[in-house]
Protein backbone atom coordinates (compact mmCIF):
# COMPACT_ATOMS: atom_id res chain seq x y z
CA UNK A 1 0.00 0.00 0.00
CA UNK A 2 2.81 2.42 0.85
CA UNK A 3 4.33 1.91 -2.59
CA UNK A 4 0.98 2.79 -4.18
CA UNK A 5 0.00 5.79 -2.09
CA UNK A 6 3.45 7.16 -1.27
CA UNK A 7 5.06 7.75 2.12
CA UNK A 8 6.15 11.37 2.24
CA UNK A 9 4.00 11.86 5.33
CA UNK A 10 6.58 9.83 7.24
CA UNK A 11 9.26 12.36 6.28
CA UNK A 12 7.14 15.01 7.98
CA UNK A 13 6.72 12.71 10.98
CA UNK A 14 10.50 12.41 11.22
CA UNK A 15 10.83 16.20 11.32
CA UNK A 16 8.38 16.35 14.22
CA UNK A 17 10.30 13.53 15.92
CA UNK A 18 13.56 15.50 15.76
CA UNK A 19 11.89 18.67 17.05
CA UNK A 20 10.51 16.74 20.02
CA UNK A 21 13.95 15.22 20.66
CA UNK A 22 15.48 18.69 20.83
CA UNK A 23 12.62 19.93 23.00
CA UNK A 24 13.31 17.32 25.66
CA UNK A 25 17.07 17.52 25.35
CA UNK A 26 16.87 21.19 26.27
CA UNK A 27 14.46 20.78 29.17
CA UNK A 28 16.18 17.88 30.99
CA UNK A 29 19.66 19.43 31.05
CA UNK A 30 19.01 20.97 34.46
CA UNK A 31 18.13 17.61 36.07
CA UNK A 32 21.52 16.20 35.04
CA UNK A 33 23.36 19.26 36.31
CA UNK A 34 21.44 19.32 39.60
CA UNK A 35 24.42 18.17 41.67
CA UNK A 36 26.81 20.79 40.20
CA UNK A 37 24.25 23.58 40.44
CA UNK A 38 23.33 22.69 44.02
CA UNK A 39 26.96 23.21 44.99
CA UNK A 40 27.37 26.45 43.05
CA UNK A 41 24.07 27.99 44.16
CA UNK A 42 23.51 26.20 47.50
CA UNK A 43 20.09 24.81 46.52
CA UNK A 44 17.87 22.66 48.76
CA UNK A 45 15.45 20.07 47.38
CA UNK A 46 12.71 22.67 47.70
CA UNK A 47 14.78 25.25 45.79
CA UNK A 48 15.22 22.79 42.94
CA UNK A 49 11.51 21.89 43.07
CA UNK A 50 10.65 25.60 42.83
CA UNK A 51 12.69 25.91 39.64
CA UNK A 52 10.82 22.93 38.20
CA UNK A 53 7.53 24.55 39.23
CA UNK A 54 8.51 27.85 37.57
CA UNK A 55 9.19 25.99 34.33
CA UNK A 56 5.90 24.11 34.58
CA UNK A 57 3.85 27.22 35.36
CA UNK A 58 5.27 29.05 32.37
CA UNK A 59 4.79 25.91 30.25
CA UNK A 60 1.16 25.65 31.35
CA UNK A 61 0.42 29.31 30.61
CA UNK A 62 2.25 29.05 27.31
CA UNK A 63 0.23 25.98 26.34
CA UNK A 64 -3.02 27.85 26.78
CA UNK A 65 -2.01 30.65 24.42
CA UNK A 66 0.25 28.92 21.95
CA UNK A 67 -2.29 26.25 21.00
CA UNK A 68 -4.66 28.89 19.69
CA UNK A 69 -1.73 30.73 18.09
CA UNK A 70 -0.77 27.59 16.14
CA UNK A 71 -4.38 27.21 14.97
CA UNK A 72 -4.37 30.84 13.84
CA UNK A 73 -0.91 31.13 12.23
CA UNK A 74 -0.68 27.59 10.91
CA UNK A 75 1.65 24.76 11.76
CA UNK A 76 4.72 25.95 9.87
CA UNK A 77 4.90 29.43 11.35
CA UNK A 78 3.77 28.33 14.83
CA UNK A 79 6.47 25.67 15.05
CA UNK A 80 9.10 28.06 13.68
CA UNK A 81 8.41 30.74 16.28
CA UNK A 82 8.33 28.29 19.18
CA UNK A 83 11.52 26.40 18.35
CA UNK A 84 13.48 29.56 17.55
CA UNK A 85 12.49 31.04 20.91
CA UNK A 86 13.31 28.00 23.04
CA UNK A 87 16.67 27.50 21.32
CA UNK A 88 17.69 31.09 22.04
CA UNK A 89 16.56 30.78 25.66
CA UNK A 90 18.43 27.49 26.07
CA UNK A 91 21.68 29.11 24.98
CA UNK A 92 21.15 32.19 27.15
CA UNK A 93 20.60 30.07 30.28
CA UNK A 94 24.39 29.78 30.44
CA UNK A 95 24.47 33.44 31.47
CA UNK A 96 22.50 32.84 34.70
CA UNK A 97 24.51 33.92 37.76
CA UNK A 98 21.90 33.58 40.53
CA UNK A 99 19.00 31.33 41.48
CA UNK A 100 16.65 34.12 40.43
CA UNK A 101 18.38 34.25 37.04
CA UNK A 102 17.84 30.52 36.66
CA UNK A 103 14.20 31.00 37.52
CA UNK A 104 13.79 33.63 34.80
CA UNK A 105 15.55 31.40 32.26
CA UNK A 106 13.45 28.34 33.17
CA UNK A 107 10.26 30.38 32.93
CA UNK A 108 11.23 31.63 29.47
CA UNK A 109 12.12 28.09 28.39
CA UNK A 110 8.79 26.73 29.60
CA UNK A 111 6.85 29.47 27.83
CA UNK A 112 8.61 28.91 24.51
CA UNK A 113 8.73 25.09 24.66
CA UNK A 114 4.96 24.98 25.08
CA UNK A 115 4.56 25.28 21.31
CA UNK A 116 5.99 21.87 20.50
CA UNK A 117 3.08 19.56 21.21
CA UNK A 118 0.18 21.69 19.89
CA UNK A 119 2.15 22.15 16.65
CA UNK A 120 3.21 18.49 16.54
CA UNK A 121 -0.29 17.07 17.10
CA UNK A 122 -1.75 19.45 14.54
CA UNK A 123 0.94 18.42 12.04
CA UNK A 124 0.10 14.74 12.50
CA UNK A 125 -3.64 15.43 12.12
CA UNK A 126 -2.98 17.31 8.89
CA UNK A 127 -0.70 14.64 7.42
CA UNK A 128 -2.20 11.32 8.58
CA UNK A 129 -5.57 9.57 8.50
CA UNK A 130 -7.03 8.68 11.89
CA UNK A 131 -6.02 5.04 11.81
CA UNK A 132 -2.32 5.98 11.51
CA UNK A 133 -2.26 8.94 13.87
CA UNK A 134 -1.51 7.01 17.07
CA UNK A 135 1.42 5.25 15.38
CA UNK A 136 2.74 8.53 13.97
CA UNK A 137 2.25 10.19 17.36
CA UNK A 138 4.00 7.30 19.08
CA UNK A 139 6.95 7.66 16.72
CA UNK A 140 7.36 11.41 17.11
CA UNK A 141 6.63 11.19 20.85
CA UNK A 142 9.52 8.73 21.20
CA UNK A 143 11.64 11.79 20.56
CA UNK A 144 10.97 12.71 24.19
CA UNK A 145 12.84 9.56 25.15
CA UNK A 146 15.62 10.03 22.64
CA UNK A 147 16.18 13.52 24.01
CA UNK A 148 16.20 12.10 27.53
CA UNK A 149 18.68 9.41 26.39
CA UNK A 150 21.05 11.79 24.62
CA UNK A 151 21.10 14.16 27.59
CA UNK A 152 22.70 11.81 30.17
CA UNK A 153 25.10 10.50 27.53
CA UNK A 154 26.35 14.00 26.65
CA UNK A 155 25.54 16.60 29.30
CA UNK A 156 27.65 15.15 32.18
CA UNK A 157 30.67 14.86 29.86
CA UNK A 158 30.29 18.41 28.59
CA UNK A 159 29.89 19.71 32.14
CA UNK A 160 32.90 17.81 33.44
CA UNK A 161 35.32 18.93 30.74
CA UNK A 162 33.98 22.37 29.73
CA UNK A 163 31.67 23.47 32.56
CA UNK A 164 27.89 23.43 33.02
CA UNK A 165 27.46 26.63 30.97
CA UNK A 166 28.54 24.87 27.77
CA UNK A 167 25.97 22.12 28.38
CA UNK A 168 23.23 24.73 28.01
CA UNK A 169 24.89 26.44 25.04
CA UNK A 170 25.48 23.33 22.93
CA UNK A 171 22.11 21.70 23.57
CA UNK A 172 20.28 24.96 22.91
CA UNK A 173 22.11 25.53 19.64
CA UNK A 174 20.95 22.21 18.13
CA UNK A 175 17.53 23.70 17.46
CA UNK A 176 18.85 25.96 14.72
CA UNK A 177 19.88 22.93 12.65
CA UNK A 178 16.30 21.64 12.74
CA UNK A 179 14.95 25.08 11.90
CA UNK A 180 16.75 25.10 8.54
CA UNK A 181 15.31 21.68 7.64
CA UNK A 182 11.80 22.65 8.71
CA UNK A 183 11.70 25.86 6.71
CA UNK A 184 13.11 24.06 3.67
CA UNK A 185 10.96 20.91 3.72
CA UNK A 186 7.59 21.62 5.34
CA UNK A 187 4.33 22.62 3.68
CA UNK A 188 0.72 21.46 3.97
CA UNK A 189 -0.14 18.20 2.15
CA UNK A 190 -2.39 19.90 -0.42
CA UNK A 191 0.39 22.32 -1.42
CA UNK A 192 3.40 20.03 -1.14
CA UNK A 193 5.04 19.17 -4.45
CA UNK A 194 6.28 15.78 -3.25
CA UNK A 195 2.86 14.48 -2.20
CA UNK A 196 1.15 12.38 -4.87
CA UNK A 197 -2.57 12.55 -5.52
CA UNK A 198 -2.90 9.00 -4.19
CA UNK A 199 -1.19 9.90 -0.91
CA UNK A 200 -3.23 13.10 -0.55
CA UNK A 201 -6.45 11.14 -1.03
CA UNK A 202 -5.28 8.63 1.58
CA UNK A 203 -4.44 11.40 4.07
CA UNK A 204 -7.93 12.85 3.60
CA UNK A 205 -9.73 9.48 3.57
CA UNK A 206 -11.61 9.83 6.87
CA UNK A 207 -15.27 10.25 5.91
CA UNK A 208 -16.22 12.21 9.02
CA UNK A 209 -13.56 14.82 8.19
CA UNK A 210 -14.22 15.15 4.48
CA UNK A 211 -16.88 17.84 4.95
CA UNK A 212 -14.63 19.94 7.16
CA UNK A 213 -13.54 23.24 5.65
CA UNK A 214 -9.73 23.01 5.80
CA UNK A 215 -9.33 26.64 4.71
CA UNK A 216 -11.61 28.01 7.43
CA UNK A 217 -10.10 30.76 9.58
CA UNK A 218 -13.04 30.83 11.97
CA UNK A 219 -11.80 31.42 15.49
CA UNK A 220 -12.85 28.82 18.05
CA UNK A 221 -12.92 30.24 21.57
CA UNK A 222 -11.64 28.41 24.62
CA UNK A 223 -15.00 29.04 26.28
CA UNK A 224 -16.83 27.17 23.54
CA UNK A 225 -14.37 24.29 23.68
CA UNK A 226 -14.83 24.04 27.44
CA UNK A 227 -18.56 23.39 26.98
CA UNK A 228 -17.77 19.90 25.68
CA UNK A 229 -17.20 16.89 27.89
CA UNK A 230 -14.70 15.67 25.29
CA UNK A 231 -12.50 18.65 26.11
CA UNK A 232 -12.71 17.92 29.83
CA UNK A 233 -11.91 14.25 29.28
CA UNK A 234 -8.65 15.22 27.59
CA UNK A 235 -7.91 17.97 30.13
CA UNK A 236 -8.39 15.74 33.18
CA UNK A 237 -6.57 12.84 31.55
CA UNK A 238 -3.55 15.08 30.97
CA UNK A 239 -3.76 16.66 34.43
CA UNK A 240 -3.66 13.25 36.12
CA UNK A 241 -0.90 11.64 34.03
CA UNK A 242 1.44 14.35 32.73
CA UNK A 243 2.72 15.04 36.28
CA UNK A 244 3.94 11.45 36.52
CA UNK A 245 6.16 11.95 33.47
CA UNK A 246 7.41 15.24 34.90
CA UNK A 247 8.38 13.40 38.08
CA UNK A 248 10.39 10.77 36.20
CA UNK A 249 11.98 13.44 34.03
CA UNK A 250 13.20 15.74 36.79
CA UNK A 251 13.78 13.33 39.68
CA UNK A 252 15.14 10.11 38.18
CA UNK A 253 18.79 11.25 38.47
CA UNK A 254 18.08 12.42 42.03
CA UNK A 255 16.55 9.03 42.89
CA UNK A 256 19.62 7.22 41.58
CA UNK A 257 21.81 9.48 43.70
CA UNK A 258 19.72 9.06 46.85
CA UNK A 259 19.30 5.30 46.49
CA UNK A 260 22.64 4.25 45.02
CA UNK A 261 24.96 7.23 45.29
CA UNK A 262 25.19 7.59 41.51
CA UNK A 263 26.08 11.04 40.17
CA UNK A 264 27.23 12.59 36.91
CA UNK A 265 28.56 10.07 34.39
CA UNK A 266 27.87 7.13 36.74
CA UNK A 267 24.13 7.81 36.45
CA UNK A 268 24.21 8.37 32.68
CA UNK A 269 23.85 4.74 31.59
CA UNK A 270 20.97 3.78 33.94
CA UNK A 271 19.04 6.91 32.93
CA UNK A 272 19.66 6.15 29.25
CA UNK A 273 18.39 2.59 29.74
CA UNK A 274 15.15 3.84 31.31
CA UNK A 275 14.39 6.11 28.37
CA UNK A 276 15.44 3.51 25.82
CA UNK A 277 12.77 1.21 27.25
CA UNK A 278 10.33 4.14 27.17
CA UNK A 279 11.02 4.63 23.45
CA UNK A 280 9.91 1.08 22.74
CA UNK A 281 6.69 1.74 24.63
CA UNK A 282 6.01 4.90 22.66
CA UNK A 283 6.15 3.13 19.29
CA UNK A 284 4.30 0.05 20.57
CA UNK A 285 1.66 2.36 22.02
CA UNK A 286 0.88 3.62 18.54
CA UNK A 287 1.14 0.21 16.89
CA UNK A 288 -1.39 -1.63 19.08
CA UNK A 289 -4.48 0.49 18.27
CA UNK A 290 -3.56 0.36 14.57
CA UNK A 291 -3.47 -3.43 14.86
CA UNK A 292 -6.87 -3.45 16.58
CA UNK A 293 -8.35 -1.12 13.95
CA UNK A 294 -7.08 -3.31 11.12
CA UNK A 295 -8.72 -6.22 12.93
CA UNK A 296 -12.09 -4.48 12.62
CA UNK A 297 -12.37 -2.62 15.92
CA UNK A 298 -13.75 0.96 15.69
CA UNK A 299 -11.06 3.64 16.03
CA UNK A 300 -12.21 5.14 19.32
CA UNK A 301 -12.78 1.77 20.98
CA UNK A 302 -9.32 0.63 19.86
CA UNK A 303 -7.86 3.78 21.40
CA UNK A 304 -9.60 3.32 24.76
CA UNK A 305 -8.84 -0.41 24.94
CA UNK A 306 -5.17 0.27 24.33
CA UNK A 307 -5.11 3.02 26.96
CA UNK A 308 -6.63 0.69 29.56
CA UNK A 309 -3.89 -1.86 28.89
CA UNK A 310 -1.20 0.81 29.28
CA UNK A 311 -2.79 2.09 32.51
CA UNK A 312 -2.58 -1.40 33.99
CA UNK A 313 1.05 -1.73 32.86
CA UNK A 314 1.97 1.38 34.89
CA UNK A 315 0.90 -0.15 38.21
CA UNK A 316 4.01 -2.32 38.94
CA UNK A 317 6.16 0.80 39.50
CA UNK A 318 4.76 0.87 43.05
CA UNK A 319 7.27 -1.93 43.72
CA UNK A 320 10.26 0.07 42.45
CA UNK A 321 11.49 0.80 45.96
CA UNK A 322 11.21 -2.84 47.01
CA UNK A 323 12.91 -4.08 43.85
CA UNK A 324 15.53 -1.38 44.20
CA UNK A 325 16.54 -2.78 47.58
CA UNK A 326 17.58 -5.97 45.76
CA UNK A 327 19.68 -4.22 43.14
CA UNK A 328 20.05 -1.19 40.90
CA UNK A 329 18.99 -2.85 37.66
CA UNK A 330 15.73 -4.21 39.04
CA UNK A 331 14.76 -0.65 39.96
CA UNK A 332 15.90 0.65 36.57
CA UNK A 333 13.87 -1.98 34.70
CA UNK A 334 10.82 -1.33 36.87
CA UNK A 335 10.92 2.42 36.26
CA UNK A 336 11.74 1.84 32.59
CA UNK A 337 8.63 -0.31 32.18
CA UNK A 338 6.55 2.42 33.86
CA UNK A 339 7.93 5.13 31.58
CA UNK A 340 7.24 2.83 28.64
CA UNK A 341 3.61 2.54 29.74
CA UNK A 342 3.40 6.33 30.06
CA UNK A 343 4.69 6.90 26.56
CA UNK A 344 2.29 4.34 25.12
CA UNK A 345 -0.53 6.11 26.99
CA UNK A 346 0.69 9.51 25.78
CA UNK A 347 0.71 8.45 22.11
CA UNK A 348 -3.00 7.68 22.43
CA UNK A 349 -4.29 10.42 24.71
CA UNK A 350 -2.90 13.01 22.29
CA UNK A 351 -4.62 11.24 19.41
CA UNK A 352 -8.02 11.35 21.13
CA UNK A 353 -8.03 15.09 20.34
CA UNK A 354 -7.92 14.54 16.57
CA UNK A 355 -10.42 11.68 17.01
CA UNK A 356 -13.00 13.98 18.59
CA UNK A 357 -12.34 17.49 17.25
CA UNK A 358 -12.02 19.07 13.78
CA UNK A 359 -8.53 20.01 12.65
CA UNK A 360 -9.07 23.74 13.11
CA UNK A 361 -9.41 23.24 16.89
CA UNK A 362 -6.69 20.64 17.51
CA UNK A 363 -3.98 23.12 18.52
CA UNK A 364 -6.33 24.89 20.94
CA UNK A 365 -7.61 21.72 22.62
CA UNK A 366 -4.09 20.30 22.85
CA UNK A 367 -2.95 23.56 24.42
CA UNK A 368 -5.73 23.52 27.02
CA UNK A 369 -4.86 19.94 27.94
CA UNK A 370 -1.16 20.77 28.01
CA UNK A 371 -1.86 23.63 30.38
CA UNK A 372 -3.73 21.24 32.67
CA UNK A 373 -0.80 18.81 32.53
CA UNK A 374 1.58 21.62 33.43
CA UNK A 375 -0.54 22.65 36.42
CA UNK A 376 -0.64 19.05 37.56
CA UNK A 377 3.12 18.92 37.13
CA UNK A 378 3.50 21.94 39.38
CA UNK A 379 1.48 20.22 42.06
CA UNK A 380 3.49 17.00 41.95
CA UNK A 381 6.82 18.88 41.87
CA UNK A 382 5.88 20.93 44.92
CA UNK A 383 4.71 17.79 46.69
CA UNK A 384 7.91 15.92 45.81
CA UNK A 385 10.17 18.73 47.00
CA UNK A 386 8.37 19.02 50.36
CA UNK A 387 8.17 15.25 50.84
CA UNK A 388 11.85 14.74 50.11
CA UNK A 389 12.99 17.58 52.38
CA UNK A 390 10.71 16.30 55.16
CA UNK A 391 11.84 12.68 55.00
CA UNK A 392 15.48 13.62 54.42
CA UNK A 393 15.38 15.52 57.70
CA UNK A 394 13.99 12.36 59.35
CA UNK A 395 16.70 10.23 57.77
CA UNK A 396 14.15 8.28 55.72
CA UNK A 397 14.26 9.73 52.20
CA UNK A 398 13.24 6.37 50.71
CA UNK A 399 9.78 6.79 52.27
CA UNK A 400 9.26 9.95 50.23
CA UNK A 401 10.11 8.08 47.05
CA UNK A 402 7.79 5.22 48.00
CA UNK A 403 4.86 7.64 48.29
CA UNK A 404 5.68 9.19 44.92
CA UNK A 405 5.92 5.80 43.18
CA UNK A 406 2.55 4.86 44.67
CA UNK A 407 1.02 7.96 43.07
CA UNK A 408 2.74 7.18 39.77
CA UNK A 409 1.46 3.61 39.73
CA UNK A 410 -2.26 4.30 40.07
CA UNK A 411 -2.59 7.67 38.32
CA UNK A 412 -3.32 6.18 34.90
CA UNK A 413 -6.15 3.91 36.03
CA UNK A 414 -7.78 6.91 37.71
CA UNK A 415 -7.35 8.97 34.54
CA UNK A 416 -8.77 6.24 32.30
CA UNK A 417 -11.82 5.88 34.53
CA UNK A 418 -12.50 9.63 34.50
CA UNK A 419 -12.11 9.83 30.71
CA UNK A 420 -14.39 6.84 30.15
CA UNK A 421 -17.12 8.27 32.39
CA UNK A 422 -16.99 11.60 30.55
CA UNK A 423 -16.89 10.14 27.02
CA UNK A 424 -18.26 6.59 27.01
CA UNK A 425 -18.92 6.64 23.25
CA UNK A 426 -17.36 8.36 20.24
CA UNK A 427 -18.79 11.48 18.64
CA UNK A 428 -17.02 14.01 16.41
CA UNK A 429 -17.58 17.54 17.68
CA UNK A 430 -19.08 20.13 15.34
CA UNK A 431 -17.71 23.63 15.84
CA UNK A 432 -19.26 25.62 13.03
CA UNK A 433 -20.85 28.85 14.26
CA UNK A 434 -23.92 27.81 12.31
CA UNK A 435 -24.44 24.86 14.63
CA UNK A 436 -25.08 24.65 18.32
CA UNK A 437 -22.65 22.57 20.36
CA UNK A 438 -23.26 18.93 19.55
CA UNK A 439 -24.55 16.87 22.49
CA UNK A 440 -22.34 14.13 23.78
CA UNK A 441 -23.69 10.71 22.85
CB within 8 A of 37, min separation 6: which ones? 30, 43, 102, 164
For 332-345, letters b (16+ CB in 10 Å) and e give: bbbbbbbbbbbbbb
3-state secondary structure of 193: coil
**Which of 234, 13, 282, 226 lies closest to 121 in space, CA to CA?**
13
CATH T-level topology, domain 2-193+222-422 = Growth Hormone; Chain: A; (1.20.1250)
Distance from the Cα of residue 258 to its chain's centroid? 26
N-terminal to C-terminal alpha carbon distance within the chain: 35
pLDDT single digits (tens) 58-67: 988 888 777 7
Confidence band of 212 (pLDDT split at 50, 70, 90):
low
According to DSSP H, which parts of 261-327 are helical? 265-294, 299-313, 320-324
Q: Which of 70-79, 162-171, 217-226, 406-415 has the largest mean confidence?
A: 406-415
Encode pLDDT of 271-283 as tens digits.
888 888 988 888 8
Residue ranges per domain, the chain?
2-193+222-422
Question: Is the model's pTM score more than 0.75?
Answer: no
Q: How far apart are CA 64 and CA 21, in angstroms?
A: 22
pLDDT in tens, 354-398: 888 887 787 788 888 888 888 888 888 888 888 888 888 888 888
Reference 216, options 429, 433, 9; nearest CA is: 433
Q: What is the pLDDT of residues 312-362, one digit of tens each?
A: 999 999 988 777 677 788 889 999 999 999 999 988 898 888 888 887 787
Question: With contact defined as beta carbons under 8 Å apart, do 128 and 199 qualify?
Answer: no
Looking at residue 431, the DSSP 8-state letter turns out to be -
Amino acid sequence: MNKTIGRYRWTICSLVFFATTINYLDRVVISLLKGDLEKDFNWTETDYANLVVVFQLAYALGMLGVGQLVDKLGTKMGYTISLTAWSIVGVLTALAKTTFGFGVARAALGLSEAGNFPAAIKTIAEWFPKKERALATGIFNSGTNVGAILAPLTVPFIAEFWGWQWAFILTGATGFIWLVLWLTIYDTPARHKKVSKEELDYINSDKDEQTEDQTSTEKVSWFKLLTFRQTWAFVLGKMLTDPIWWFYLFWLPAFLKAQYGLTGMDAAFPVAIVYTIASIGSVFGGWLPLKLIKGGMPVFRARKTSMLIYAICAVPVVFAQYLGSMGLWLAVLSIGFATSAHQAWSANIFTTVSDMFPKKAIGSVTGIGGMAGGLGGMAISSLAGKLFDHYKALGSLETGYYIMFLICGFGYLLAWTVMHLLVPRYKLIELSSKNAPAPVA
